Copies of this chain bind each other. A is one copy, B any other.
Amino acid sequence: MQKGSLYAHIAGKQELLYETMLVGARAFHAALDELPERAPATERIRLALRAHLRLVADQLDVATVFVREWRSLDAERRDEILAERRRYEERIRALFREGREGSELRTDLDENAAALLFLSAANWAYTWLHPGEDTDAVADAFFGLLVDGMRGYDTPV
């Protein structure tokens, strides 16, 4: 398809970028929606990380745009997309908060730092994941490091 033919389907470049990012935002939220509500918080964290990495690997191009190009949106649309992103981050933060409040995680856990570390691993993945790669094992490895750390073998309750 030639570049001019695009304009039979979209209103313009901005519109195309915005639609693409909406698809991305909705996909990430949908992944969180499908977490089992009754599972322990740590298990939901593990599954959330799996879902996030799977989404990035399955739709690497959308994920890359979603992470890198939100600056190019005009002010109004950028605010909307950023709000969706902040809402996603808050949902992740809530998982860690629940884990702490339910005593699955240490009571002095800094949920902001924890969520930021989770999101760093999740969002950086677009730079090294290959399209379509199976990511569950990687997600579980990350989860293990995050939750149990790198020292010793124990998993104290």
Report the bound CA distance from A109 to B148 in whole Å: 11
Contact with B along A80-112 (1 / 0, CB 8 A): 000000000000000010010000111011100
- From A106, A128, A145, A155, name the one whose CB has the most chain B CB atoms within 10 angstroms: A145
Contacts of A128 in B (CB 8 A): 116
Residues of B within 8 A of A120 (CB): 120-121, 123-125
Report how far A3 CA is from B120 CA in the complex, Å: 36
Cα A109 to Cα B153 in complex, Å, equals 10
Give the interface residue-count category, chain A. 35 or more
Contact B147 A148 (CB under 8 A): no
Contact in complex: A151, B147 (CB < 8 Å): yes
Instruction: Name A residues whose Cβ lies closer than 8 Å to a Cβ of B.
Output: 68, 96, 99, 104-106, 108-110, 113-114, 116-117, 119-121, 123-125, 127-128, 138, 141-142, 145-157
Residue of B nearest to A153 (CB): B106
C-alpha gap A151/B41 in the complex (Å): 12
Which residue of B is nearest A154, CB measured?
A: B156
Given contacts A149-B149, A153-B156, 9 further A-B contacts (CB under 8 A): A109-B150, A114-B150, A116-B121, A117-B142, A120-B124, A123-B127, A146-B146, A151-B155, A151-B157
Contact partner, A114, options B127, B138, B145, Cβ 8 Å: B145
